[in-house]
Structure 1
Amino acid sequence: MSNEVKAMPGNAAIYSPKSQLPSIDALRTAAPGAKVTAASEKERSRGAPPFIITWPDLMVTVNQMPAEQLVRHLQGFQGYLQSRCELVDPELLQRVGGMKQCLGLVVEPDFDEEGRGEALVLALTELVEGVFFAGGAVYAADGSCLAAPPEEFDEDEDEDEEEYEEEYEAQYGDTPPEGARREGPPTAMRVAQRTLVFGALTARAQLEDYPGEDREQRRQWLMRRVEDLGLWPELERDERRILEAPAGTLSRRQTIDSSWRSEGLAVLAWALGVSELPAHDHTMDSAELITKKLGLMGDQPSPVLAAPKLRTPEELRRMERRLLALHWRLRDFSLRPQAMDFIEFSRTAWMGPFELEGIQLAGNDLAIGGKPIAQADPQRVRESQSIAMERHHAINWLMGQTWVYSLVDTST
């Protein structure tokens, strides 16, 4: 597997209470030394960006979100601010709801050291009397922060450590190890261990429907295998209970939840370079992965524990944006079952632009079973939403949201 990845451009989204675009003369003043090209109304109606601003070594494309998409986008953005951010400006949510324009800026190859890209964002935000979103936070035209995820304010703040220790002990039956609260992204070895844990949980769930008379012997063998591989410390308390429960005694909910861990398994196996991630509307066929690639069901050491290595941080970040966007679209559709231009959303999404390569589309929207989501089989759509939630959960854990897997937040 190659470690070389295409660099992602920088991006920002500017929200304005004005519906009119700034003039080309104003942009030329805001971008000294740059060439500013404006598209005609006819060109814009065909999807061309309103402005392209270029220096010899830097290009900024200014896109305008279609008016018919703005209301839904603003609702999603307000949801992000409410669930993921601390508000410095208490009136920001109301202001966002009244915005009449969203400009998505794509800076290629990225924000430059000279600060031209950042200066342009600030100047353009001032021109349209708005606010801008970048790096997960919202800022005013003078650069002051209006809202940001809690860690952006004080990464060293000891926020409710006692409550966290209680949650940790409830899951693991023990006090958290040194540094567990802010360990950051898990090590490759820990990812490998949790991948095998999910393999074991998936295999355990499958035993509930196994017709053979030896299924309890198989469960006991699985327990010994988990112990032999040194996975016991990685198991949360509920996971231990599932593996310890005699075959045929799991509740329907325990069986279903354990089976769905195969989608988290798919993401972790992808992160380790063990397998590719199935399409967003296809569940993971875990049998071959568990048996052959993970080596869980044999009697030899698992190959993934030998020298595990994760994909590059950039690959993980790209997948994080991708899985968040897929989960957002499916959850949004469950609340507002309407078609949308997912291609345009990929360029101007509040979580940052994401690549559509490998994501099946139909009619410019997300495809489920080869059809636009609004025309797809409802059962397939619901199944795809469950897939998206489990995979979003896994990538958030991989990015270091929390040590405890079951405490990961999958808000969209």
Structure 2
Amino acid sequence: MEIATPDQIRSPVEVAPRALTLFAVVAVGLGADREEIIPWLRENDLFEELSPMEAQFIEDPEPSERQITNASWYSERLIALLWALDLASMPPADERCDTSLLQDILPPYAEVNERDFIKSAKLRSGEELIAMVDQILNLHWEARDARIHDRPPRNVDLGIIQERHHAINWVIGYDGLPWDEVTTDT
């Protein structure tokens, strides 16, 4: 796996496995059997791709309700990764992604195996990625500003946009931070 330097867009070979491992985390968060997910990750050389926090969650037979809720929210991070890989459109900032779409795109459910998914991965252009970063940053700022001033934000959900902001910042190599440490500064 390549290590990104600060503000260097990550390669498709980094983003595709990240999407697959995140899919596993989301699946467990939504109730999938971890006893099926863990062997799948290991068989496909993806277990090592889990971040430390993800590995702890996946291996914990009794995660907290908070961990389960967080894992289910990571579907918003995943949709941002799939958008970056040009495999999905980005839902509106006030609309949660349709998690059933994930199975249409990602192995082991989609009509592509894990190795081919990674091998064929391509990212959107740098210009598209940076434009999306700017758009998400502005929406995130708007949502935070609305919360600070105790008013409803327009067409943006703070929880949704914060998760997407995390993922897109990781894709562009924001400060070169690893997945668990990515910030969402506004």
Q: Is the 8 A contact 2:53 2:180 kept in 1?
A: no
User: 1 or 2, which has the higher helix percentage?
Assistant: 2
Q: 1:236 aligns with which of 43, 48, 51?
A: 51
1:309 equivalent in structure 2: 122
Counterpart residue number, 1:389: 162
Instruction: Tell me how far 1:269 sits from its aligned partner.
Output: 0.2
Query: CA 1:367/1:193 → structure 2, altered by over 3 Å: closer, same or farther?
Result: same
Could you list the per-position Cα deviations for residues 234-285 of structure 1 after superposition, in whole angstroms to 9, with x for gaps in the alignment? Answer: 2112211211122xx1101111111111101010000111111111111111
CA distance in 2, matches of 1:179, 1:282: 32
Distance 1:224 1:396 in 2: 30
Q: Label 1:319 to 1:243 Cα distance change in 2 as closer, same or farther (>3 A).
A: same
Corresponding residue for residue 21 of structure 2 = 197
Which runs of structure 2 are paired with 1:245-260 in the superposition (5 Å)? 245-246=60-61, 249-260=62-73
Equivalence for 1:227: 42
Name the CA shift for 1:298/1:227 in 2 (closer, same or farther; >3 Å): farther
Tell me the distance in 2 between the aligned counterparts of 1:405 and 1:260: 15
Distance change >3 Å, CA 320–CA 178, structure 1 → 2: closer
Counterpart amino acid of 1:238?
Answer: M
**Unmatched segments (≥5 aa) in structure 2:** none
1:366 alignment partner, SS class = coil
Asked if the contact 2:2/2:14 (under 8 Å) is kept, the reply is no
C-alpha separation between the residues in 2 aligned to 1:183 and 1:280? 24
Please say if residues 93 and 155 of structure 2, whose CA atoms lie closer than 8 Å, have aligned partners that are also in contact.
Answer: no
SS at match of 2:25: helix
Alpha-carbon separation, structure 1, partners of 2:129 and 2:16: 15
Q: Which structure is higher in strand share?
A: 1
Write the distance in 2 (CA, Å) between the matches of 1:294 and 1:405.
20
**In the aligned structure 2, how far is the partner of 1:300 from the partner of 1:391?**
25
1:21-75 CA distance string (max 9 Å, x none): xxxxxxxxxxxxxxxxxxxxxxxxxxxxxxxxxxxxxxxxxxxxxxxxxxxxxxx
Cα contact 2:76–2:163 (8 A) shared by 1: yes
- Residue 304 of structure 1, CA deviation: 2.5
| CA RMSD after TM alignment | 2.3
Contact 1:229-1:301 within 8 A present in 2 as well: no
1:332-368 C-alpha deviation (Å, 9 max, x unpaired): 00001358xxxxxxxxxxxxxxxxxxxxxxxxx8336
Question: Conserved in 2, the CA contact under 8 Å of 1:199 and 1:296?
Answer: no
What percent identity do the matched residue pairs reach? 32
Q: Which has the higher contact order (CA 8 A, sep 6+)?
A: 2
Q: Is the 8 A contact 1:320 1:395 kept in 2?
A: yes
Question: AA paired with 1:306?
Answer: K
Kindly tell me the number of residue pairs found equivalent between the two proteins: 184
Alignment partners' CA distance in 1, 2:41 and 2:177: 20
Q: Which residue of 2 aligns with 1:404?
A: 178
- The question of 1:366 aligning with 2:154 is answered yes
2:137 counterpart residue number: 324
Paired residue type of 2:10: P
The structure that has the greater radius of gyration is: 1
CA contact (8 A) 2:29 2:71 kept: yes
Over 3 Å counting, the alpha-carbon distance change for 1:394 and 1:298 in structure 2 is closer
Query: What TM-score, normalized to structure 2?
Result: 0.89
Q: Shift in Å at residue 178 of structure 1?
A: 8.1
